[in-house]
């Protein structure tokens, strides 16, 4: 259970770090570049074995490149969604994206979809509407939901690609493969930051926050993988995702004073049930 709580705490900790970036005048992209340097270094160091590089070739390497690019995009929108829309909304948007890999599995891999998966898919529609429905007193703008919507699709794509990685055997050495993805994410984010966004230097706050973000990202990934080796997936995924949403909502409400209407709380409950059903035996 220790690994479970550590994976959960570090995952929610990533959202907390993004939330406090503005307070310390930390540029998201700068911290993300540093974080991928840290997480790739840790992942590749802990998983290094002679000859492993020869195992990541062909389609595996291509998939790692695609995931490396997609991870950077996902991390950027995770930071923007957390800062602009809140921790609670971000956690729901990223987790309910399980809709996408479920549909991909059914449509492209012809995998069997059980009745509870279908119920979860159906429930996700009112869940999204109710949870994101603004109250009459709220100053609603489409812009406030733009980042969670994009995050929803990026997270779903990432989950689908990771399932493809499992199918082709790229996850036989999971930490090494993830380290390779982190390394590609470092190269992509550094190129984008230095040559397109014209980042010239990092502030001390950015170095510290980037170091923390990379350490949290690595730790969340490491303990998540340890949990997968100790718990049945059918048990772990539903409990973990529900716990992540619950803890994120708690943090958002009590630490950052995020406000929700009764309709939003109903939507949160329906979303939790939907995610639970879609994660069972999946």
- State the Cα–Cα distance between residues 253 and 90, nearest whole angstrom: 13
pLDDT at 268: 92
- State the Cα–Cα distance between residues 166 and 4, nearest whole angstrom: 21
Residue 142 three-state SS? coil
pLDDT over threshold 80, residue 199 = yes
CA atoms within 13 A on the CB side of 137: 4
Residues 21-74 have pLDDT tens digits of 988 989 999 999 999 999 999 998 887 654 455 555 555 788 889 999 999 999
pLDDT at 189: 97
Note the helical H segments in the chain: 2-20, 28-47, 59-85, 87-95, 99-107, 115-132, 143-167, 174-191, 204-230, 233-255, 262-279
More confident residue, 280 or 242: 242
pLDDT at 143: 67
- State the Cα–Cα distance between residues 105 and 77, nearest whole angstrom: 25
pLDDT at 259: 85
Instruction: Over range 126-136, report the average pLDDT.
Output: 80
- State the Cα–Cα distance between residues 33 and 193, nearest whole angstrom: 8
More confident residue, 229 or 273: 273
199 CB-near residues (< 8 Å, 6+ apart): 27, 29, 30, 33, 193
Residue 232 three-state SS? coil
Lowest-confidence region among 67-71, 142-146, 200-204, 235-239: 142-146
pLDDT at 97: 92
pLDDT at 60: 73
140 — pLDDT class (breaks 50, 70, 90): low
229 CB-near residues (< 8 Å, 6+ apart): none
112 — pLDDT class (breaks 50, 70, 90): confident
pLDDT at 51: 46
pLDDT over threshold 50, residue 10 = yes
pLDDT over threshold 80, residue 144 = no
pLDDT over threshold 90, residue 279 = no
pLDDT at 81: 95
- State the Cα–Cα distance between residues 110 and 101, nearest whole angstrom: 12
Residues 151-189 have pLDDT tens digits of 999 999 999 998 888 888 777 788 888 999 999 999 999
Burial code (b: 16+ CB inside 10 Å, e: under 16) for 194-211 equals eeeeebeebeebbeebbe
* Residue 235 CB neighbour total at 10 angstroms: 12
Which range of 75-89, 110-124, 140-154 scores highest in mean pLDDT? It is 75-89
Among all chains, which residue has been given the structure tokens 């699709």? 153
pTM for the model: 0.91
């Amino acid at each position: 259970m220790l690994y479970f709580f550590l994976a959960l705490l570090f995952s929610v900790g990533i959202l907390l770090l993004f939330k406090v970036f503005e307070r310390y005048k930390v540029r998201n992209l700068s911290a993300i570049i540093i974080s991928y340097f840290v997480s790739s270094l840790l992942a590749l160091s802990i998983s290094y074995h002679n000859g492993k590089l020869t195992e990541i070739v062909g389609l595996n390497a291509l998939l790692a490149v695609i995931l490396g690019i997609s991870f950077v995009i996902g991390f950027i929108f995770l930071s923007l969604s957390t800062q602009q829309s809140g921790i609670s909304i971000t956690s729901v948007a990223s987790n309910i994206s399980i809709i996408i890999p479920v549909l991909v599995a059914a449509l492209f891999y012809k995998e069997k979809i059980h009745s509870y998966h279908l119920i979860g898919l159906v429930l996700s529609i009112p869940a999204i509407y109710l949870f994101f429905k603004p109250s009459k007193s709220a100053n609603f703008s489409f812009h406030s939901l733009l980042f969670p919507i994009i995050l929803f699709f990026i997270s779903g794509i990432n989950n689908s690609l990771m399932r493809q990685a499992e199918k082709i055997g790229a996850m036989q050495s999971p930490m090494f493969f993830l380290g390779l993805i982190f390394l590609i994410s470092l190269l992509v984010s550094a190129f984008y930051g230095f040559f397109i966004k014209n980042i010239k230097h990092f502030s001390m706050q950015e170095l510290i926050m980037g170091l923390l973000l990379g350490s949290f990202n690595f730790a969340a990934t490491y303990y998540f993988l340890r949990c997968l080796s100790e718990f049945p997936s059918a048990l772990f995924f539903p409990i973990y995702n529900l716990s992540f949403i619950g803890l994120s909502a708690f943090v958002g409400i009590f630490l950052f004073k995020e406000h929700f209407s009764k309709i939003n709380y109903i939507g949160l409950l329906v979303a939790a049930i939907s995610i639970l059903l879609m994660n069972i035996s999946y």
